[in-house]
Each structure stands twice: as structure tokens, then as C-alpha cells.
């Protein structure tokens, strides 16, 4: 245990045990944070959001345009606007354009022309 206390003071260190499946959650959270990922959920019109399969974006590339491109390249040609629920908007839902920056766990509904 002394070794763990010494190693814990090191930067970028997360102790785990594969054999005992110990501390995997902290490892996943650390990796997620270091890679600057965000999760954005899709919401088809008239349905509830899909929380099972989020679209993963880099925090520095988190525009609605990047979100659309990640789903399908052809969507941007038909894009009219989007409705967003979450912490990136002032009220839920809010109508936004393709330059709007999304935040972690936002929900997006795309409206086509």
C-alpha cells in the first residue's frame, strides 16, 4: 500500500487491477477527461432521446455542424435548424443554427428543409 500512496502523487496516474476489476470507472473517467470528449444525444421528432448510443465529439469540435457530419454527411445539405435541450442553451428547447456549440450531454433534434 505504501507504493500506491507514492504512485498516487504522480500526475496522470490511475491505479487499477484487471484481475479484481478494481477502479475501472475512475480510469474511464480520466481517459474521457484527457481526450476532451463530450456526449451528445439524438432525439428523433416525436420520440424520446436515445440515451443508449450518444454521438461522441471532441470538446473543441462540438458545433451542431460537427454533430451533423458525425451522423451523416448528407444531413448538412438538408439542415434547416436544430432544437437543443441541455446546458449549452438558455431555455429548453432552444432553436439553434449549425454554428451553435454543444456541451456534454446535450440533446439535439435536427430539423430538415
Q: Is the pLDDT of residue 63 over 80?
A: yes
What top-level class would CATH report for the domain 36-112?
alpha beta
Element (H, E) at 34: helix 24-35
Residue intervals in the chain for CATH 3.10.20.30: 36-112
Query: Does the pTM exceed 0.85?
Result: no
- Rounded alpha-carbon distances, angstroms, from residue 101 to 3, 26, 55, 66: 43, 27, 14, 9
Mean pLDDT of the 12-38 span: 90
Q: How confident is the model at residue 4 (pLDDT cuts 50, 70, 90)?
A: confident
Amino acid at each position: 500500500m505504501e507504493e500506491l500512496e507514492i504512485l498516487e502523487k504522480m500526475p496522470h496516474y490511475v491505479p487499477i487491477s484487471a484481475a479484481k476489476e478494481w477502479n475501472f470507472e475512475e480510469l474511464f473517467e480520466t481517459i474521457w477527461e484527457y481526450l476532451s470528449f463530450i456526449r451528445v444525444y439524438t432525439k428523433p421528432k416525436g420520440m424520446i432521446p436515445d440515451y443508449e448510443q450518444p454521438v461522441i465529439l471532441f470538446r473543441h469540435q462540438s458545433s451542431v455542424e460537427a454533430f451533423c457530419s458525425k451522423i451523416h454527411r448528407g444531413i448538412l445539405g438538408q439542415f434547416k435548424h436544430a432544437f437543443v435541450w441541455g446546458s449549452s442553451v438558455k431555455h429548453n428547447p432552444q432553436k439553434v443554427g449549425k454554428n451553435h456549440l454543444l456541451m456534454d450531454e446535450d440533446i439535439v433534434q435536427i430539423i430538415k428543409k
